[in-house]
Amino acid sequence: MSTEHETTPSSFSDLGLPDHLDQAVSRLGYTQPTPIQEKMIPHVLEGRDVVGQAQTGTGKTAAFALPMLAKLKTAKSREPQVLVLAPTRELAIQVADSFSDYSKHLKKIHVLPIFGGQDYNVQLRQLQKGCQIVVGTPGRVMDHIRRGSLKMDSIHSLVLDEADEMLRMGFLDDVEWILDQLPGREQTALFSATMPVNIRKIAQKYLHQPVEITIESKAVTANTVEQRCLITSGGFASKIDALGKILESEDFDGVLIFVRTKLQTVELAEKISALGYSTTALNGDIQQSQRLRTIEQLKTGKIDILVATDVAARGLDVNDLSHVI
């Protein structure tokens, strides 16, 4: 999916990042920093705590990942230094991938996503081998702290990504518990699309005079996307009927269909499969390994249609979808 950025005239080289990171972003095709990157990177490099009110799509990941990579302490080579908490496994994986992309040329940097649903042994082995950056969902991070497998002493930087989403998913107590376990925390960055009272309280309690950066989210629609609306009457059955007709008449490449409940993902996927399309349901009850496989299958064209709840689909990064319904 493509993302549109409101870019500003400054360049990455003005932001104070080391050359190797300038080169990494330019290899990825980033020509200019997005507004949140331009405003936030210098403060994070300076060591300030930051609060970013910004949504996915604004480039917020690079806004914290680039300066935090620049600030890694090389002496503590294989101990975790940066911990990122993210609400979902998909977002954790996506953020870990971004850290890896930006640090690909640095041989000794290891980034580890840890999330519920994945085999403990795999994570334990990787934690044992060592890594500087851990990106995890709160529940699993807590488990590893309790087991003693995730060492907290050397973590100097913490990021709370999509804090309002963590609140919505009931992770706030876990997040606070984790915040209380970080004796060496020097810097904290908190990102949230919205700022409900509970998130403000966390910022007040745990952040030290944070710089606040708000990126107004304009409801932009990429002009490459054509939007259509079809109104049906007669409930689920007539929607399925209409959907069948759309699929028959449209040329499509990859289709993502959103429904509200887990049950509907399964029901609808079964109905569409019965029409002869290769379709799979994606919801929070499906095992993580299977979810990753499903997303891979959509990416490689082995599945045409994915029926998902918005929670399960958060952080999906799939190119070449022709239709979202």
Binding site for ligand AMP (CB under 6 A): 3, 5, 30, 32-34, 37, 56-62
Closer residue to ligand AMP (CB): 103 or 123 = 103
Closer residue to ligand AMP (CB): 152 or 313 = 313
Instruction: Tell me the two tokens of residue 148.
Output: 């003693």
Closer residue to ligand AMP (CB): 243 or 256 = 256
Radius of gyration over alpha carbons of the chain, in Å? 21
Q: How many CA atoms within 13 Å lie on the side-chain side of 71?
A: 22
**Angle, CA of 77, 12 and 41, to the nearest 5°:** 60
Closer residue to ligand AMP (CB): 164 or 304 = 164
Name the minimum Å distance from CB 228 to ligand AMP.
25
Name the minimum Å distance from CB 300 to ligand AMP.
19
b/e burial code for range 131-159 (CB count within 10 A of at least 16 → b): bbbbbbbbebbbbbbeeebbebeebbbbb
Calpha distance 157→69 (Å, rounded): 10
To which H or E segment does residue 36 belong?
A: helix 35-46
Name the minimum Å distance from CB 96 to ligand AMP.
13
> For residue 191, which of 41, 77, 86, 316 has the smallest C-alpha distance?
86
Calpha distance 196→86 (Å, rounded): 17
Calpha distance 56→77 (Å, rounded): 31
Name the minimum Å distance from CB 167 to ligand AMP.
19
Name the minimum Å distance from CB 87 to ligand AMP.
13
Name the minimum Å distance from CB 169 to ligand AMP.
18
Closer residue to ligand AMP (CB): 8 or 287 = 8
> Strand ranges (DSSP E) for 105-175?
111-114, 133-136, 157-160
Name the minimum Å distance from CB 44 to ligand AMP.
14
CA–CA distances in Å: residue 135 to residues 13, 111, 156, 200, 321: 27, 8, 14, 23, 27
Name the minimum Å distance from CB 239 to ligand AMP.
31
Closer residue to ligand AMP (CB): 145 or 159 = 159
Three-state SS string over 230-281 comes to CCCCCHHHHHHHHHHHHHHHCCCCCEEEEECCHHHHHHHHHHHHHCCCCEEE
Closer residue to ligand AMP (CB): 61 or 294 = 61
Closer residue to ligand AMP (CB): 53 or 56 = 56
